[in-house]
Amino acid sequence: MSLTQTRAIIDSIHDDSLDMSNFNVMRRFNLKVPTECFGVDPEILRPINSWPDRDSYKVAAKSLAEKFVKNFERYEAGVPEEVVRIGGPNLTF
């Protein structure tokens, strides 16, 4: 991602225009990602589109999600159940 597009995203966050976007949910990570952002190619807003192929993205995303879950096990006891339930990656996808 270019510095210009990164700056456009940051500017949209700061001026609250990103709040007016529509969002897709990345189900594996439970993250809302905007479908559009002024000055940003919409293709890069979907991480799967910036990988050489979809299968390698899916393998890497699953691996990353597994690492998040494993790392979080150290902190889980001190976190409210609702956060544990909805806050982390979903390994069922």
Tell me how far apart the alpha carbons of residues 9 and 3 are, in angstroms, rounded to a whole number. 10
pLDDT of residue 86: 79
pLDDT of residue 75: 87
Q: Is the pLDDT of residue 87 over 90?
A: no
pLDDT of residue 65: 93
pLDDT of residue 81: 86
Taking Cα atoms as reference points, which of 4, 46, 6, 54 lies closest to residue 25?
Answer: 46
pLDDT digit string, tens, across residues 12-60: 999 999 988 899 999 888 889 999 999 999 988 998 988 899 999 999 9
Q: Higher-confidence residue: 91 or 35?
A: 35
pTM of the predicted model, to two decimals?
Answer: 0.76
Domain ranges of the chain: 3-87
Task: State whether the Cα torsion 6-8-10-12 is positive or negative.
Answer: negative
pLDDT of residue 61: 93
